[in-house]
Amino acid sequence: MRYIYMVLIALMVGIVVLFKVQNLQTVTVTLLSMDFSMPVSIMVLLIYVLGMFTGGFMLQWVRTLMRGARAPRV
């Protein structure tokens, strides 16, 4: 089973490297009159990480609200 995980990790790393190599074009992002120029692959990675953080925080917030709604009031 360990070898299957190693092969899957190597496959994912290969896909990420291939994505990085094929997306070297530069894009410009404008936010509040600031301009940022970066490669497409870096922008996609940053947006993905930002989505993971915000999604995790929102999920935890909803769980906290649900626990508060179920707790008996004293």
User: What is Dmax (Cα atoms) for the chain?
Assistant: 60
Cβ–Cβ < 8 Å for 24, 39? yes
Beta strands at 26-31 and 34-39: parallel, antiparallel or unpaired: antiparallel
**What pLDDT digit, counting tens, does each position of 57-72 carry?**
888 888 888 877 665 6
- The pTM for the full model equals 0.57
Per 3-state DSSP, the chain is made up of helix, strand and coil in percentages (nearest 5) of 70, 15, 15
**Predicted pLDDT at 72:** 64
* Structural domain spans, the chain: 2-70
The parts of the chain modelled with pLDDT lower than 50 are none
**Predicted pLDDT at 20:** 82
Cβ–Cβ < 8 Å for 44, 29? no
